Each structure stands twice: as structure tokens, then as C-alpha cells.
Amino acid sequence: MATTTAPPESVKQIAYLAAALKAPRILEGASRLADQARDAGWTHEDYLATVLEREVSARNASGAELRIRAAGFPAVKTIEDFNWDTQSAVRPQVGSLTSGAFLTEARNVVLLGPPGTGKTHLATSLGVVAARLGHRVLFATATDWVTRLTDAHRHGKLPAELARLRRYGLIIVDEVGYLPIEQDAANLFFQLVSSRYEHASLILTSNLPFSSWGGVFGDQAVAAAMIDRIVHHADVITLKGASYRLRGRGIDSLPSTRTTAHETEN
Ligand code: ADP
Ligand code: MG
């Protein structure tokens, strides 16, 4: 290949244009990739595509970091950190979600199972996947969501808040069922579920089976209508077994008081 070096004016102009575009990696990569392009005989299109691709992937990576920080995860956990030995039965199901297709299809994910089986871990991991794929994510417990929606409602801003939340590709509602939700609050929560239905994804986690959600939301009809919308397009993943937190502590199981209490209430 004929090796012609770029005239210094062009390099200066690239520096100026890259700064104007706020794309510093274009400047970093342009000269180096130009040498590589000349050596390897790339077409002009190949060269331009490679330069732009570097910029785009660097932007995506820093965007993902920001989205992960903004999501409000209690701790950042990834699928790679998850030990499948205790949950091998759900590995294919969770694995198929990591493509992120569920987000573009506005499907939901429900993680059910006793305390310590990895529900929050997996919900967070899928949130991290979503953030890496460019979706905005928000994580909070069911109780926190209720507080947030109640505040918005009190200030007459519920529709605006729901509209704002619809711009998030993924909302995670952790710990449905740990605390009962007042009937008025349950209605607000129902509106959150409705506003996202077939529009954007939700991930919910619960230690209770759906049959006990009526007790949580204080109203069988609201719970039934909500579950109907949630599971219409959803992957329901049921985790089983002993708490991961108690591994190797010589404690086999936790008293499942909440499940029992709600089931006898209903
Ligand atoms: P849950 O939400 O079901 O109560 P968590 O997801 O909070 O349980 O899990 C409890 C703790 O144990 C967390 O620190 C989590 O990261 C860890 N953990 C649970 N299951 C696994 C697993 N299979 N592999 C690795 N860590 C796990
Ligand atoms: Mg949890």
C-alpha cells in the first residue's frame, strides 16, 4: 500500500471538528486509525465507520455507567456474579432474558421465591443489562414506589409522574408483599402497572405467591386486575430453596411466617 501521511492542516481541522462535536475519541482515534487504514487498504467508508464506531461504543459505555448509578440499585449485582448451583432450574429462563428482548417487547418479569433466594440480585442484574443496552432504569421497593406515587397524587401530579416514568424502559419493584399496602395506595400502584402495560417493562419481586397478593393490596379485585395486566406478557421465574445468606451457617430454613400469615388471612 502507498503510505501517504495526512497533511497537518487536516489533522488540525479534525481536532477542531472533534472538539466542536464534543467527540474527543474521534480525535484520539482518527490519526491512528488512518495509519491502520492506509496499511490495511480500508475503503473510505470502512475508515469512517471505524472512527465513528469507537466514539459510539465509548459513549454507550459511559452512558451505561451513568444509567446504572441513576437507577438506585441497593447494590450493583450482575448475572456474572450469580452462582447457578443453587438455582440451576431457572438458568435457561434467566439466560434468555439477558438479550434484553423483553424490554423492547415491553414484557414484564416476576421473580418469586422465599427470602435470600436471589430475587433482588437477579432483578438488579437484569436492570444492569437494561442500562447497558441503553434503557433508563429505576429501582425501588414496593413501599418506596407507594410513597412516591402517594406524594405525586397529593400534589395533583400523578398523571405527570406516570408520564415521566413511562420514559424509563424498566422499572423494578422490589419486595412486593413484605409490607401491606393501603387500599388507596394500592389503587395508585394499579395505575402505575396500567400506565406501563404493553408500553414499557416492569420487574417485580415477591416472597408471596400471586394467590396471596389480595392480602397485600387489601383488595382482591384490585390485586386480580393488576396481576392480570402484569402476567399477560410476563416471564414468571420461581426461585426455590434455602436462603443464600444462610449458606454454611448450619441453618436450613427461615420461618416462612409472612406467607403463612397472608394465606390464612385470605
Ligand atoms: P432475595 O431478594 O431473594 O431475598 P437477594 O437477592 O437479596 O435475595 O440475595 C441475598 C444475598 O445473597 C445477596 O447479597 C445476593 O447477592 C446473594 N445471593 C443470593 N443468591 C445468590 C446466588 N445464587 N449467587 C450469588 N449470590 C447470591
Ligand atoms: Mg430481596
Assign 266 to helix, strand or coil: coil
Closest atom of ligand 1 relative to the 82 alpha carbon = 24
pLDDT of residue 258: 47
Assess whether pLDDT exceeds 70 at residue 3: no
| CB contact set of 78 (below 8 Å; sequence gap of 6+) | 125, 128
Determine which residue's CA is closest to atom 16 belonging to ligand 1.
Answer: 121
Pick from 151-165, 176-190, 192-206, 224-238: least confident: 176-190
Q: 178 — phi, psi (to 5°)? A: -70, -40
50 vs 1 pLDDT, higher one = 50
Decide: 86 in ligand 1 pocket, CB within 6 A: yes
Determine which residue's CA is closest to atom 5 belonging to ligand 1.
Answer: 118
Looking at residue 183, its amino acid is Q
Band (235; pLDDT cuts 50, 70, 90): very high
User: In this structure, which residues have their CB less than 5 angstroms from ion ligand 2?
Assistant: 120
Band (252; pLDDT cuts 50, 70, 90): low
Question: C-alpha grid cell for residue 86?
Answer: 443453587
pLDDT tens string 9-63: 888 999 999 999 999 889 888 989 999 999 999 999 999 999 998 888 888 888 9
Is 209 exposed, middle or buried (CB count within 10 Å of its CB: 0-12, 13-18, 19+)? Answer: middle
Pick from 1-5, 21-25, 259-263: least confident: 259-263
pLDDT of residue 261: 39
156 vs 2 pLDDT, higher one = 156
Looking at residue 132, its amino acid is R
Assess whether pLDDT exceeds 70 at residue 2: no
Assess whether pLDDT exceeds 60 at residue 68: yes
Is 108 exposed, middle or buried (CB count within 10 Å of its CB: 0-12, 13-18, 19+)? Answer: buried
Pocket test for ligand 1, best of 121, 207, 238 (most atoms within 8 A of CB): 121
Query: Which ligand has its closest atom nearest to the C-alpha of 78?
Result: 1
pLDDT of residue 231: 95
Query: Which ligand has its closest atom nearest to the C-alpha of 123?
Result: 1
Closest atom of ligand 1 relative to the 85 alpha carbon = 23
Give the percent of the chain with pLDDT over 70: 91
215-242: average pLDDT: 94
Mean of per-residue pLDDT scores for the chain: 90
Give residue limits of the domains in the chain. Answer: 8-65, 71-265
Assess whether pLDDT exceeds 50 at residue 91: yes
How many CA atoms lie within 13 Å of 201's alpha carbon, on the beta-carbon side? 28
Assess whether pLDDT exceeds 60 at residue 266: no
Q: How far is the CA of 254 from the centre of ligand 2 (A)?
A: 14
Q: How far is the CA of 243 from the centre of ligand 1 (A)?
A: 8
pLDDT of residue 28: 87
Assess whether pLDDT exceeds 50 at residue 184: yes
209-220: average pLDDT: 92
Decide: 244 in ligand 1 pocket, CB within 6 A: yes
pLDDT of residue 259: 46
Q: How far apart are CA 234 and CA 229, in angstroms?
A: 9
pLDDT of residue 59: 86
Decide: 116 in ligand 1 pocket, CB within 6 A: yes
CATH H-level, domain 71-265: superfamily: P-loop containing nucleotide triphosphate hydrolases (3.40.50.300)
217-231: average pLDDT: 93
260 vs 86 pLDDT, higher one = 86
pLDDT of residue 46: 92
